Structure 1
Amino acid sequence: MAEVRVIPDSSAPSSPSPPVPGRPLLLLLAVTCGVTVANVYFPQAVSPLIADGLHVPSSSAALVVTCAQLGYAAGIFLLVPLGDRMRPRSLVTTLLLITCAGLLLAATATRLPVLAAAGALVGLTTVVPQILIPMAAGLSSPQRRGAVTGTLLSGLIGGILLARTFSGVLGQWLGWRAPYLAAAALALLLAPVMAVALPRTAPSTDQPYPKLLAAPVRLLRTEPLLRRSCQYQVLVFAAFSAAWTALALFVTGPRYHLGTPAVGVIALVGAAGMLATPIAGRRTDRDGPDAVSLVCLTGTVTAGVLLMAGNLGGPVGLVGLAAGMLLLDVAMQSGQVANQARIFALRPEARARLNTAYMTCAFLGGSAGSWLGVRAYSAFGWDGVCALVTVLAGLALLRHVLRDRPGRVSTANTAQRTSEPSGDTAPQTSPPSGGTDRGEVEAGRGR
């Protein structure tokens, strides 16, 4: 059994103190988040190799990336709510075994439709990080929730970025199937580890599955802070996915004539973002999520402008690309720390369902961004991609500047929220963390 400590929770004096995951368990959870989320991202680096291997156009091979992200969005909507109803031990172990099967199917595919379908299946079941993150947040005190979320997200970032490096290099040496086989082996290894290491947490609700599926939609309707966080991440993650999907086409195209390992090298530079999310978590706990969101959204806009340096070509262009992608990665992932700290403070008994609503919206935005990125690159070249990133990030920044202030949440939303029963078995005892916009939360709750 992994180490679990118990500390007092000052926000809920009348209820039992939640167990807090110790550092060894947190590190294991962070590694698991990174290894599993990599399944959605490593196809971005090998899509040109897939195109050559299956004899299809590069734009068609990029469909594998889009299908994986759509599958991930579907998995978040269909499977992550079960994190509130099932024990994470059994749920995570089962998902890892199914993911392994999907990766093996992808590795043996001989036609693009089969590969795209296998990628969608892998995306559907590789939602383990979105179960582990709210679970860890629920085991933490409000004062440490941002820091714990940031730690797991640092592992997530490492998986996203290093996956491109790993798959690009391995694919160049052994072919595009090799990354799928390696990922299958890692999933098979993690399944028994998670079956032993995860704490025996109890479900927070006994709602039937149809009601669990309906809950994220209801939460989106009744929680203003959840809606706002989703709007930020839809736009920013769309910009992020557009840039990374088009980057592989750009650096392997006529401007640079580089191989897929070049995408991995750029991603490796971006791995420095792993150091940023724990810092963003501590800043969120201290200053509140809105202050962190402002910095991150401004950084995303700046990244879109900086990426235009890629058109210079040569070493200068590559440096510009690496700097722009690093800033984009840091801004997107640090912004997610703020967004998730904001939503996890809303309803302690429904964190998996809150995360379902948030991450479903985020990955629908990411899927749309991948599609738009390829279209922008095909029609307007790299400048079109940079313009797309800047416009999407600019819309998110504008939404943040024009956000509702405390006390301005509509009375209609307040009345609707207070009149609807939650249907959950756990009482809502934990108030927002110190870093959450207290006035807006209170207004949203109608207190």
Structure 2
Amino acid sequence: MAARQASPGRRTILFLAVACAVSVANVYFPQAISPLIASGLRVPPDEAALVVTAIQIGYAAGIFLLVPLGDRLPHRPLIVTLLALTGLGLLAASAAPTLPVLVAASAAVGVTTVVPQVIIPMAAGLVPPERRGAVTGTLLSGLIAGILLARTFSGTVGQWLGWRAPYVVAAAVVLALTAVAAVAVPVTTPASRQPYPSLLAASVLLLRTEPALRRSCLYQATIFAGFSAAWTCVALLLTGPRYGLGAQAVGLLALIGAGSVVCAPAAGRRSDRHGPDQVNLWCAVGAVAAAAVLLAGVAGGPAGLVALAAGMLLLDVATQAGQVANQARIFALRPEARSRMNTAYMTCAFLGGSAGSWLGVRAYTVLGWPGVCALVAVLAVTALARHLLHAPSAGRADPAGDRSPGTP
């Protein structure tokens, strides 16, 4: 930034965490109601799951196309505009008469609901380095709460009022948040005056020149792909013949997973003290263990439900703690390019997530729940193998890990 902005206080950080939660919830709440969408629009469940894939692809596109503007434009008007467009997109989705229209509206919502990826690098630039991991962890706690409680909200509301109701309620909440954001978001000075095409090219260039960024992208893309596959398919498992439960059961399962919220600040503090590599190792091992626990869910009955709850909680913790560690690493690389760095990272992460959702449904259709668990395990082992192959230079204390030569 051209001039140092005032460090935000606790109330501002809390509001920003809430904004992250509300915004990101729109990407995840369709996971719990895809069986209801299938029933309401009279389409097969695997086709209804395209709504989940579409919004994640839209989110990845929005991250690549819009988040770089966080380095170019003042944050307050950018955030307010994106929130307003998200609210309108949700209203359009709620009125969709057919699945293709709903898929298109979902993709549009995904494009604009990238507010958390604007907020997080903004806040990282407003706090001193010794607070960066803790503040990132706090904001990610809000993000995680939105991810997990979104399914509880949509599963419960959708079960009672139909699949359109969660979209209407979400639109009302987002539009109310828009009004508050117009006065609560910190006033900032743009960090860059580069033309927009240059900002887009910079994200690709950063992927080519920053080994630590590429490594972080691989970690999160693989772990998040497994996370998305599991959450997309657990709705099919719970509402299918083995369990015969409703969408509300998916929401209750997500509520159990909300315990992972407390892990993000702890992961941030651990990254601040010991570097992110140690946290990444634990996360990869935890995701492999989660796949093994989730496999017991194929048994059905109370024992199967316990296994699903425990496995999903472990997978949630691994995914969210890994997110904290990876972002702590990349935000330490180039302070003047945090939004562009986050653009490259989150685009890769959500491309992995959308691929995981699509592959998960294919695995479930062909091999059932064991196929989904095998997919989660393979993806986690890929991240673990890359981590074990990474050999930091002796004596390196830089929390960012492997930097490219000349990086400030």
Query: 1:56: which partner in 2?
Result: 43
Query: 1:436: which partner in 2?
Result: 400
Equivalences for residues 152-301 of structure 1 within 5 A: 152-301=139-288
- Gapped runs of 5+ residues in structure 1? 1-14, 408-431
Mapped contact 1:145–1:433 kept (Cα < 8 A): no
Query: 2:349: which partner in 1?
Result: 362
Percent identical: 66
Instruction: Tell me how far apart the structure 1 counterparts of residues 138 and 318 of structure 2 sit (CA, whole Å).
Output: 16
Q: Is the aligned partner of 1:322 residue 2:309?
A: yes
Instruction: Tell me how far apart the structure 2 counterparts of residues 151 and 138 of structure 1 sit (CA, whole Å).
Output: 15
Query: 1:371: which partner in 2?
Result: 358
Q: Provide, for residues 20-68 of structure 1, a one-character-per-residue CA deviation record: whole Å limited to 9, x for no partner.
A: 2111111110011000100000000000000000000000000000000
Query: 1:92: which partner in 2?
Result: 79
Mapped contact 2:55–2:108 kept (Cα < 8 A): yes
TM-aligned CA deviation for residue 389 of structure 1: 0.2
Instruction: Tell me how far apart the structure 1 counterparts of residues 405 and 182 of structure 2 sit (CA, whole Å).
Output: 38
Q: Is the aligned partner of 1:80 residue 2:67?
A: yes
TM-aligned CA deviation for residue 436 of structure 1: 3.1
Mapped contact 1:143–1:433 kept (Cα < 8 A): no
TM-aligned CA deviation for residue 374 of structure 1: 0.2
Instruction: Tell me how far apart the structure 2 counterparts of residues 338 and 446 of structure 1 sit (CA, whole Å).
Output: 19
Q: Provide, for residues 173-216 of structure 1, a one-character-per-residue CA deviation record: whole Å limited to 9, x for no partner.
A: 00000000001001110112111011111000011111011110
Mapped contact 2:156–2:248 kept (Cα < 8 A): yes
TM-aligned CA deviation for residue 446 of structure 1: 6.8
Query: 1:445: which partner in 2?
Result: 406
Instruction: Tell me how far apart the structure 2 counterparts of residues 153 and 334 of structure 1 sit (CA, whole Å).
Output: 9
Identify the match of residue 382 of structure 1 among 364, 369, 381.
Answer: 369
Q: Provide, for residues 70-108 of structure 1, a one-character-per-residue CA deviation record: whole Å limited to 9, x for no partner.
A: 000000000000000001100010011111111011000
Q: Secondary structure of 2:333's partner?
A: coil
Q: Is the aligned partner of 1:338 residue 2:325?
A: yes
Identify the match of residue 24 of structure 1 among 4, 11, 22.
Answer: 11
Q: Secondary structure of 1:19's partner?
A: coil
Q: Is the aligned partner of 1:37 residue 2:1?
A: no
Q: Provide, for residues 398-443 of structure 1, a one-character-per-residue CA deviation record: whole Å limited to 9, x for no partner.
A: 0000014228xxxxxxxxxxxxxxxxxxxxxxxx996333xx33x5
Instruction: Tell me how far apart the structure 2 counterparts of residues 444 and 236 of structure 1 sit (CA, whole Å).
Output: 28
Instruction: Tell me how far apart the structure 2 counterparts of residues 445 and 296 of structure 1 sit (CA, whole Å).
Output: 30
Give TM-score, length-normalised by structure 2: 0.97
Partner amino acid, structure 1, of 2:384:
L
Higher helix share: 2
Larger radius of gyration: 1
TM-aligned CA deviation for residue 224 of structure 1: 0.6
- The number of equivalent residue pairs is 408
Q: Is the aligned partner of 1:71 residue 2:63?
A: no
Q: Secondary structure of 2:216's partner?
A: helix
Identify the match of residue 107 of structure 1 among 83, 94, 104.
Answer: 94
Q: Is the aligned partner of 1:398 residue 2:385?
A: yes
Q: Secondary structure of 2:362's partner?
A: helix
Change (3 A) 1:446 1:68: closer
Equivalences for residues 141-156 of structure 1 within 5 A: 141-156=128-143
Q: Provide, for residues 94-141 of structure 1, a one-character-per-residue CA deviation record: whole Å limited to 9, x for no partner.
A: 011111111011000110000000000000000000000000001111
Mapped contact 2:4–2:126 kept (Cα < 8 A): no
Give TM-score, length-normalised by structure 1: 0.89
Mapped contact 1:285–1:433 kept (Cα < 8 A): no
Mapped contact 1:285–1:434 kept (Cα < 8 A): no
Q: In angstroms, what is the RMSD of aligned CA positions?
A: 1.7
Q: Secondary structure of 1:116's partner?
A: helix
Instruction: Tell me how far apart the structure 2 counterparts of residues 371 and 444 of structure 1 sit (CA, whole Å).
Output: 38
Partner amino acid, structure 2, of 1:248:
A
Instruction: Tell me how far apart the structure 2 counterparts of residues 201 and 398 of structure 1 sit (CA, whole Å).
Output: 41
